Amino acid sequence: MDGHENEQHRAGDETAPVRGRARRWTAWRPGRRLRRLGAVLALLAVTLGGIVVGTYAGGHVGTDIGPFRAELKLSPSLSGGTTVDIPPLGALLLDSHDGPAYLTVEVGSLDQGRTEALIDDPASISRASQSAVQDVRDGVMRLGLRTLASAVLATLLLAALVFRDVRRTAWAGGLALVVTAGSLGVAASTLRPQAIEEPRYEGLLVNAPAIVGDARRIANDYTKYAEQLQRLVGNVSKLYTTVSALPVVQPSPGTTRVLHVSDIHLNPTGWQLIRTVVEQFGIDVVIDTGDMTDWGSEPEASFVGSIGLLKKPYVFIRGNHDSPRTAAAVAQQPNAIVLNNSVTTVGGLTIAGIGDPRFTPDKETSPAGSGLTSAVADQVIGAGEQLAGTIEKSPRKVDIALVHDPASAGPLSGTCPLVLSGHTHSRQVSKLPQIEGKQPTTLMVQGSTGGAGLRGLEGEKPTPLTMTVLYFDQQKLLQAYDDITVGGTGQSQVNLERHVIRDPAKGDQVPVTPTPTRGPSESPSPGTTTLSPTPTS
């Protein structure tokens, strides 16, 4: 009996632990699954967090695209695409690829050294346009590799801090590598290069299609322009030898040579021509009557860097396309003088000038820039009256007055022998209506030294590049001038026409130009006119 009981007791002792372990396994198994699920979710969360942090922290590179310095950035996105930021003008939005990566290209300022190299070597313009594509491709490749490395590194660091486990940290790093590489692969496989042909515009660039015209046609025109540039420069180099066949000026040692330019409108070719003429004609002073830029924006301010390379005094007044920022950038050049209702003496000449009272880079949104309305006439004539008052108070006799719009010249009649202006993109020489008892005043309106910039490429007939060399005798009177005209897009002809003034004290024998008045006149007097539209840039 006792042995049987002992056997039953031992059997009970053996089955009891088994039943206990089963109960514990049944209770522990769902908890283990939840813990595993939580671990996986934590791993995914840490990995995605590391990818996002790494992308924002390291997903950017700087690269050179032609003469520009650009910043490329990647950011997470569901829809994909590309934004090309051109501050402060606006942005181009391109449907370039699908998600989950978004590319931002921020175009910075021009590199002055590379820009000058393009100007000096016309063939490099074509090479730069071809290499720009490769520059972008190389920059995007470096951006992808940098983003991948940054995302993996950030994930490893974050996982190490959260899990404090080598195995889980390694899993997170590997997962980050797969997810980031896969995302970049999706973007690359869905790339649509043709998206550049159908951009959406933001900011001031909304007006770009209307202002610049069809980009493809202008690009073709500029290609022709670049092909002819070498011949243009070569022909300009022959201008000095051409002078020997022109009417004799007999410049004395005291003769001052002034180069009058205007309305360059961001055309780098204008700088090359200016430099050639300055060197070969022995120019003493360069006078610029405005509209050096198109929008007066900060990126355009770097365009003025070529002024310092001339190493000659450069007298400048603002045009209606030049902002105060443009004028400040010009003033920073070591050889530049910016006049704004002020007087300076340079090269023995006393020069007075005033900037255009308007800032109207966009004529679509600035009606004041589209014609000589009554309100505009009050502005431009008022500027001329201010400058006339400044000249009358000047302790030294003024030899030349500068205004941007020739409509400002009327009040300057009799205050000085010569007024220079631009604005109309059409060269013209005339006399201002003479005031009894005062000296005659000649008005010289310059064309566009930049061929009106990109806008000059819009029309069927290209806008020529123009500038004028003025010769002043020892009495600081104009004795002769050379009109230089360079053919526009696709043209390589260069013309030089010399005009010798027979009586410098009276000026050239040219017609009297009508000048605008402040209001409609019932019976206009000779030399005056009621308001009428004048062309603008």
Q: What is the 3-state secondary structure (H, E, C) of 117-174?
A: HHHHCCHHHHHHHHHHHHHHHHHHHHHHHHHHHHHHHHHHHHHHHHHCCHHHHHHHHH
CB 357 within 8 A of CB 380: yes
Label residue 250 exposed, middle or buried (CB < 10 Å: 0-12, 13-18, 19+): exposed
Confidence of residue 525 (pLDDT cuts 50, 70, 90): very low
* pLDDT band, residue 79 (cuts 50/70/90): confident
Query: In 3D, which of 284, 285, 288 has the Cα closest to residue 303?
Result: 288
Model confidence band, residue 84 (pLDDT cutoffs 50, 70, 90): confident
Is residue 45 within 8 A of residue 37, CB to CB? The reply is no
Distance CA 458, CA 441 (A): 36
Phi, psi of 446 (to 5 degrees): -85, 150
CB of 232 closer than 8 Å to CB of 260: no
Most confident of 147-161, 215-229, 349-363, 391-405: 391-405
Report the SS3 class of residue 106. Answer: strand
Cβ atoms of 198 and 91 closer than 8 Å = no
**Cα separations (Å) of 41 from 53, 164, 172, 482, 526?**
18, 16, 11, 81, 90
**Gap between the Cα atoms of 438 and 507, Å rounded:** 13
Average pLDDT over residues 216-244: 51
Q: How many CB atoms lie within 10 A of CB 205?
A: 19
In this structure, of 74-88, 124-138, 153-167, 405-419, the range with the lowest mean pLDDT score is: 124-138
CB 465 within 8 A of CB 486: yes
| Beta partners for residue 478, in sequence order | 472
d(CA 390, CA 351): 11
Does residue 44 or residue 285 have the better pLDDT?
285
The residue ranking higher by pLDDT, 254 or 61, is: 61
Per mean pLDDT, which range of 305-309, 320-324, 365-369 is the poorest? 365-369
Looking at residues 94-123, what average pLDDT do you find? 70
Q: How many other CB atoms are found less than 10 A from the CB of residue 191? A: 13
Cβ atoms of 96 and 82 closer than 8 Å: yes
* Sign of the CA dihedral running 430, 422, 210, 373: negative
For residue 458, which of 218, 209, 153, 287 has the smallest C-alpha distance?
A: 218
* Other Cβ atoms within 10 Å of 462 Cβ, number: 19
Higher pLDDT, 131 or 498: 498
Q: pLDDT band at residue 89, thresholds of 50, 70 and 90?
A: low
pLDDT at 190: 86
Provide the pLDDT confidence category of residue 188 given band limits of 50, 70 and 90.
confident
pTM for the full model?
Answer: 0.59
The pLDDT value recorded for residue 534 is 39
Q: The tokens of 67 are what?
A: 């003469």
Residue 82's pLDDT is 86
